[in-house]
Chains A and B, each alone.
Chain A
Amino acid sequence: MTRSTTKARNTVEIRTTADDHRIAKLAALAIGLHLAEAIIPSPLPGVKPGIANIVTLYVLYRFDFATAAWVSLLRVFASSLLMGNFLSPTFVLSLAGAVISLFTLAFGAKLSKRWFSPISLSILAAFAHIAGQLLVVRLWLIPHAGIAYLIPVFTAAALIFGLVNGLIAAKLLAANR
């Protein structure tokens, strides 16, 4: 073995790029918001502001879709590990919501920027999020019509929180132009 190879023999070196660092920083911010939100009591399980999604939206506009997807999914995985519900129903609900929101954002990003601001994307993503979660609940957790009564409440919350998060994201993007 030559001298140059022995130098890095005991450590696995992962080369990181500036992109990786940026994703890590933004994901950390999203995780922080997610955990802070977990402390806030909710009148109904499942009704949450979803303030971490402000970060996802911000990243989508400031960088690109791939970065936003990384930040969103890292947030879901890391937050569930930190809160101890990894692979539990809570985690699956969170992941389903995030994945479907990301699909919606991927399509939403193609909408004309002259007509649709982050507010639209935030509302659409919020609706997608709750739709994904309700689908999981219906197909897996509570396989009967019992939750139909709660659907109007969930969608109303999605509209309100989607709007507020969208306004905040639009404000942040305008402020840090």
Chain B
Amino acid sequence: MSSWKTCPKPLPGDWIVISAGLLLVAMLFLTLWHGEHAAKLRIRQGNSIYATLSLDQERTLDIRGPLGNTRIVIHQGQVRFVSSPCRNQYCVHQGWLSRAGQVAICLPNQVSLELLGARKNYDSLNY
């Protein structure tokens, strides 16, 4: 058995794989973790867009869904679910959203919030 002190040497192909892996991870961080502040809020109710609003306002909205009214609040460039008639309250517990790309969904009452940046980064919200 050879000494455990020596480390196996990566071959040229390994370095390519390692570099490609690093590049992939870096790209994923850059595309999915940019801290860009959201500019707009898109509210969906059921299958349709309920409203697309600027976050530069103080506003409280009541959105009617199948279970009742869902209340959301826009405050200082952030938005959150304040109350919802759903049972598990996941949407309310998600708290404030402020960065582009963030999403909060209340499935039982079919209301979703999606924060948009200056440009849309990925389009993957569907039911």
Q: Identify the A interface with B (CB < 8 A).
A: 111-112, 114-117, 119-120, 123-124, 127, 143-146, 148-149, 151-152, 155-156, 159, 162-163, 166-167, 170-171, 174-176
The chain B residue sitting closest to A144, CB to CB, is B105
Query: 21 pairs across A/B with beta carbons < 8 Å?
Result: A115-B12, A116-B14, A117-B13, A119-B14, A119-B18, A120-B14, A123-B18, A144-B125, A145-B122, A145-B125, A151-B28, A152-B25, A152-B28, A152-B32, A155-B25, A155-B28, A156-B25, A159-B21, A162-B21, A174-B2, A175-B4
The answer to whether B25 and A159 touch across the interface, beta carbons within 8 angstroms, is yes
A145–chain B nearest beta-carbon distance, Å? 4
Taking A144-B105, A175-B1 as contacts, is the C-beta distance between A119 and B8 under 8 angstroms?
yes
Nearest Cβ distance between residue B108 and chain A, in whole angstroms? 14
Q: CA of A64 to CA of B46 in the docked complex: distance in angstroms?
A: 53
Tell me the count of chain B residues lying within 8 A, CB to CB, of chain A.
27
Chain A residues near B11 (CB-CB < 8 A):
114-117, 119-120
Contacts known (A115-B11, A175-B2); A120 close to B103, Cβ less than 8 A: no
Q: Which interface residue of A112, A148, A162, A175 has the most chain B CB atoms within 10 A? A: A148
Q: Which residues of B contact A (CB under 8 A)?
A: 1-2, 4, 7-8, 10-14, 17-18, 21-22, 24-25, 28-29, 32-33, 101, 103, 105, 122, 124-125, 127
Q: How far is the CB of A55 from chain B (nearest CB, A)?
A: 17
Q: How far is the CA of A151 from the CA of B25 in the complex (A)?
A: 9
Q: Is the CB of A111 within 8 A of B8?
A: no
